[in-house]
Each structure stands twice: as structure tokens, then as C-alpha cells.
Structure 1
């Protein structure tokens, strides 16, 4: 799914040993955060089905203070105390990554260009999620990653268990009953699906910012090239994707392929027999976007190879509360540019921060 990540990984593996590497190349997410001058914490939560997930927290800005704001503008002027010791009073933001990614993707750019650092400098208590199977969440109370059962999950389980467990933990740790949610790609899919399992979580979220929102993707151009590769992964028991780049079950990729081929935003089709056992019907149920009742901001671009503008239009038409429908004003702005592009700050994050502040 993430072609850019796969290419970069291949390039890195092929570089000669003497090639110059950035000093942060082999640092973990918390280590990168600290190297940038920010406080970092590591937290663990166990899902009800036994996966041990690792979250990373940036409880304040550089030097424990609050930055001047994005592009010199003071977005943190709501008067809320930014001290991480002021339990329940600080603004809280939860960021959820995309397929084959991890918490690191929100902090790889320079501090004034990475959304996690920008929010921390604006007074947010920033939490970065990691879903089951990625490099930070590869533990289970009884299963080993070497067992196929460990990798027998789809978007359904991430939406039903992982994200709710992490959000519950964040609310308890911060004392804040509500938070802002920022998702990229799969981070938006699991949010939309989650509300079909846990509609009460709508009451926990002030606003949801959806970068490259993925629900309907039947117009996505990428699948005409990568559908055969995704289907072939079934023969490898997830071994490749368990290690490169950040780890994921092949079922997740096949579920996205099903979104594309069926033209439906639905639970994972496991075959008629297992569908009957798990869903009570031979066919998987559809996810209803009508159950997402929080204000949602959609951030999309014409150059995205996964999220087509026609699919965004359908997603927007079914969401009850679209607070912002923002098209990035650059024709070649692509899927991963929402995280890694140097101009994402100017093209996306200004609008995103305004959306969050309007609902805080």
C-alpha cells in the first residue's frame, strides 16, 4: 500500500555500508522526540483480546513550554494551561498512523514541520498510537509473532479493540474526558469503523481530522497495479509484512482490496463459513458512516494515488457532520506528503490546527 515506504526501505538496504546515515536513523520514536528537545514517555495498554500496544506521548513543547504557534500565529490562545501536570485541563490530541507505519511517521520532519511537534508546541498533550503487529506493538499475553494466529486480524480488530483501548487509556491517564483525533489513511479507516462497534466513543472526541481519508476507495488508481501483489501475500503467512517496513497483517491489505473491488466500506470478508460464525451472515456487514457523529475535517488532494476525489465526495456525503472539506491546493501533493512533505505545514497543518482549535 505504501509504495513510497517500500521503495525507501529497498534503497536503504542497498546502500553501501560506508554511506552517510542521519544520526536519527536507528533511533526509536521516543529517542527521536527527545533528540528534538521534547519530553517523551512510553505507555503500554493491553487490549481485551490480548495484544500489548505501545503508545508514545509528548506531554509538552520544547523546554516544557508552549510555542508561539504555527506560522507565527497564536493558535493556543484559548487560555488553557499547557502544563503537563495540570491533569484534565490541557488539550489532548491522539494521532493514529497509516498502514505499514508507526508513531514515528508523525515526528520524522523537523520540529516546525512535523504535526506532532507543532501540536505539542501549541499546548497539546500529544499521544501517538501504534496498532497491533507493528514494531512497537508486537507482544501478546499468550501468542508469539512466530505463530500465524498472531497475525490473524484485520481492520475490524484494530477498530474494535486497539483504538478503543488506546483512547480509554489516554482519557484515564490525562483525566480529560474528551480529546481531538488526528488520523492519516488507515488511521481514518479505523476511526470510521470504530463507531460501528463503539458508538459511545463519539462522546469522547471533540473533533476528528482525517488526512487522506480512506473509506470508499473504488476509484483508487493504485489497485490496478498492486491487486495481484496483495492477493499473493496470502501464500506467505504475513512473514514479509511482519518485518518490513513496520509490520502489518496481510489481511489488512486484502481488506482494502475488498473495499476497492466491492465498492463498499465493510468488515473483512473471511469467506461464507467464517463470516457466518463471526457476523451471523454469509456476507460481511457494511460500516455505516452515519454512526460517526463527531465533527470531521477532511483533508485530501487531487494527486493522491490512493484517495480519489470521487471517493472523498462519497465519504463526505455520508458523514453527518463535515466540519471542513479541504482540498490541498497543489496538484501533485501525494498520499504520504500529508506526513513527510516540507510544505505540509503551509498546505495542510494550518487548516488542521484551526479545525482543532475551533472545537477546543
Structure 2
């Protein structure tokens, strides 16, 4: 239903990890409203097709807390710790940002999950994993995978113009990104092996690395898998139901572009 000059109800758009915020209906070019319309106090689900970027901007500005405006280094500094930054270059040319929060205890590498970044380990402030471990004195290294907010560089490919930059999966994240990051940390700390804490797809990357490049099993002292993902057997019915629920979003992503979706999710820390 297109917007008209008739009185419009308040439309509230809910996005993951951002919350619900009211938006002016007349700013939205395409809405899917229930048959018969809605009352002024009702909340409806909205499918936005053309102005998704502007919606994200409005929602972000309306709900962003102070910490949400800070990058990784600024967050760590805010909560009382120094942080150093390095570049890790993978075998296939991706340039990944690696952060280091110095400590006196053994080195620990943290590796994030899907559509995420190193920020995920510090956005809870004083109760975050990084700050908690830093207070205990651990020598922390926080990695990033290709394509996220801190991984949009390559020795020859441009993420804004080269589709090949985005031609990868969790396999490459494990085989190349995690491997290069572990090698870098081992070299800098002069250790033969380090401890690794991974989350979600980060654990999948760890399983890929350990099974395809078995020499890295000797370089990982302890592997702590948070919300691990290893097997996808027997999931067809669940996936089918999920696809039916998110089909409008899938159609939208196919039009808008998965690359732009990944970039936006990284920027919003979803």
C-alpha cells in the first residue's frame, strides 16, 4: 500500500540488536500493511524495499548508545586498557586488522562469529570478555575475518568494485584467516602454541583449520568453542521453515546485494 495524504498510524520497525523505533510512514516508499489498515496505536511489521539504507541510518541515530559510536580501540581505551593494532596478510591476499591488549599471562586469541567483528568481545563494557580477561592479566589478541568492518582490504582487490573480493565462505575464513592470525600471534609472542577462544562461525573456522591443515593442531594449546557450529546434518525441515519466514528478506537481499548487506551488518555490529 503506497503512502497517501490520509492520516497514518505510527509504524514501528524492529531490527535485530537495534530495538524498535518509530518512523514517519510518509518517508517509506513501500509498505506491506494488514488488510483493512491499522489503527493509530497499533504496531505492524513493515517490509521496506527501497529505502533500507536510510532506515538503518535513522534507526542507528535514534537508538545508538555512547559506546556504539566508538570503534574497538576507543572502547578498550575507555575501559582502562591500552591496545595495539597490526595488519595480518593472508596467503590469498586479504589484509586483516588484529588488535592486541598486552598482558603478563599466556597469549589468548579471540575470534568472532558470522557478520561480526572484534567489537563483539568488548561491546558489553566492563562485563565484556576482553575487559574481564584483561583485568586478570591475559595477553589478548583479537582477530577479524575478511569482509567485516576491520577486514575490507586486499593486496589487489577493491571490496567496492571487485566481486571476487566477496567470493569466499567460512572455509576460507578458517583455512586462511585464522591460520594467518595464529601464525602472526605465535611469531609475535615467540610461542609454539596459543589458546584460542572462538564464537559461533569462529568455531567453525577453527574446525575447518584443524581438519584441513592438521599441523595447526600443534599450534592451538586450548580451543574454547562458544556456541560451536560443526554439523548441519538432518536440518532440512528446520531450514525449510526458516526460509519461508525470511523469504521477503531473502528477496530483498538478492536485489540490494549481499555485499552491501554484509557491509551494513558489520557497521551496525550485528
Runs of 4+ displaced beyond 6 Å: none
Q: Does 1:150 pair with 2:193?
A: no
Q: Report deviation, 1:222.
A: 6.6
Counterparts of 1:329-344 in structure 2, within 5 Å, are none
Q: Does 1:95 pair with 2:115?
A: no
Q: Does 1:115 pair with 2:158?
A: no
Other-structure match for 2:214: 199
Question: C-alpha offsets along residues 197-247 of structure 1, whole Å, 9 cap, x if unaligned?
Answer: 210111111111111110124449576224645587455542332322117
Q: Does 1:42 pair with 2:66?
A: no
Q: Does 1:28 pair with 2:71?
A: yes
Cα 1:127–1:177 change in 2 (3 A) is same
Q: Report deviation, 1:196.
A: 2.3
Per the alignment, in what secondary structure is the counterpart of residue 140 of structure 2? strand
Q: Report deviation, 1:15.
A: 4.0
Other-structure match for 2:182: 167
Would you say the 8 A contact 2:147–2:263 is kept in 1?
Answer: no
TM-score, normalising length: structure 2: 0.71
Q: Does 1:240 pair with 2:250?
A: no
TM-score, normalising length: structure 1: 0.54
- Residue 127 of structure 1, aligned match among 125, 135, 141: 141
> Distance between the aligned counterparts of 1:40 and 1:5, measured in 2?
31
Q: How many residues align?
A: 215
> Distance between the aligned counterparts of 2:240 and 2:121, measured in 1?
26
> Distance between the aligned counterparts of 1:207 and 1:121, measured in 2?
20
Cα 1:36–1:222 change in 2 (3 A) is farther
Question: C-alpha offsets along residues 130-156 of structure 1, whole Å, 9 cap, x if unaligned?
Answer: 000001010001100121111011111
Other-structure match for 2:155: 141
Counterparts of 1:246-261 in structure 2, within 5 Å, are 246=266
- Whose Rg is larger? 2
Question: C-alpha offsets along residues 112-138 of structure 1, whole Å, 9 cap, x if unaligned?
Answer: x21111112222111111000001010
Would you say the 8 A contact 1:151–1:238 is kept in 2?
Answer: no
Would you say the 8 A contact 2:115–2:262 is kept in 1?
Answer: no
Per the alignment, in what secondary structure is the counterpart of residue 137 of structure 1? coil
Would you say the 8 A contact 2:108–2:194 is kept in 1?
Answer: yes
Stretches of structure 1 that go unaligned for 5 or more consecutive residues are 61-81, 83-89, 248-339, 341-360
Per the alignment, in what secondary structure is the counterpart of residue 92 of structure 2? coil
> Distance between the aligned counterparts of 1:138 and 1:15, measured in 2?
24
Other-structure match for 2:223: 208
Cα 1:20–1:235 change in 2 (3 A) is closer
Per the alignment, in what secondary structure is the counterpart of residue 25 of structure 1? helix
Other-structure match for 1:8: 18
Would you say the 8 A contact 1:6–1:245 is kept in 2?
Answer: no
Q: Report deviation, 1:110.
A: 2.7
Q: Report deviation, 1:176.
A: 1.7
